[in-house]
Amino acid sequence: MSKGHLSSGWAATPVGAVTETVAAYDLGAEEYSQRFASVDFQRYLMTFLNELPARSVVLDAGCGPGRDLARLSNLGRAVVGLDLSSGMISCARRAAPRAQLANGDVRFLPFAGSTFGGVWHCASLVHLSPPDVTRAVTEARRVLLPNGVLFLSVASGEGAEWRPAGNGRRWFHYYRLSQLIRIVEQAGLVVLSAAEEPGIAHGKWINIFSRKSA
């Protein structure tokens, strides 16, 4: 077999990387919550809200401590937050008391098809390999209503690495704009806008709005 045949084209994810990453979030949930509380995604949230089917429910997938969940809830939206870290879910429960919350995995969403008008994926796919991101985007499409909208925001770059976090570490994957557009389109979504932009908090980020066809 040729070397090219063996090459995957993306960094292999260490066994247990997601579990270890989520454990680091559990330990650092309060600290993360305070550090990123003032990060303001208002511009993206407004575009997202304007594109949503009327009166539909929003899923914040990988909601973390619930910053955006609380904003959406305070704007009158019915919201559901999901995160694999129970520490993050506890923070989100305090931040957005009206939201429904679920401890679950974005790769295996515990919801019926055609449930949500929008899925908000803000910085929640940054720990997943391309096959896992494909799975998560496919899941997002499944749970969207026809005309429902998906927002994705991931760090721009190449490769993958461990980054220290408190007493633990987190595994990060970086993506190119064209790569993520391909994943979104292959999942059967129509791209509304896609750009690499300065991050709200740091670095360069890829932001994509897409829609499930009617």
Query: What span, in angstroms and rounded, lies between the C-alpha atoms of 120 and 56?
Result: 13
Of the listed pieces 3-11, 47-55, 122-130, 184-192, which binds ligand SAM according to CB under 6 A?
A: 122-130
Say whether residue 118 binds ligand SAM (CB under 6 A): no
CB 156 within 8 A of CB 185: no
Question: Does residue number 123 form part of the binding site for ligand SAM (CB under 6 A)?
Answer: yes
Q: x/- binding map, residues 167-186, to ligand SAM, per CB under 6 A? A: --------------------
Q: How far apart are the first and last CA of the chain?
A: 44
Q: What's the per-residue H, E or C state across 154-176?
A: EEECCCEEEEEECCEEEEEECEC
Residue whose Cβ sits closest to ligand SAM: 64
- Choice from 85, 90, 129, 207 touching ligand SAM (CB under 6 A): 85
Rg of the chain on CA atoms, in Å: 16
Element (H, E) at 45: helix 42-51
Choices 57-65, 180-188, 189-197, 202-210 (CB under 6 A): range interacting with ligand SAM: 57-65
Positions that interact with ligand SAM (CB under 6 A):
18, 22, 25, 36, 62-64, 67-68, 83-85, 88, 105-107, 122-124, 126-127
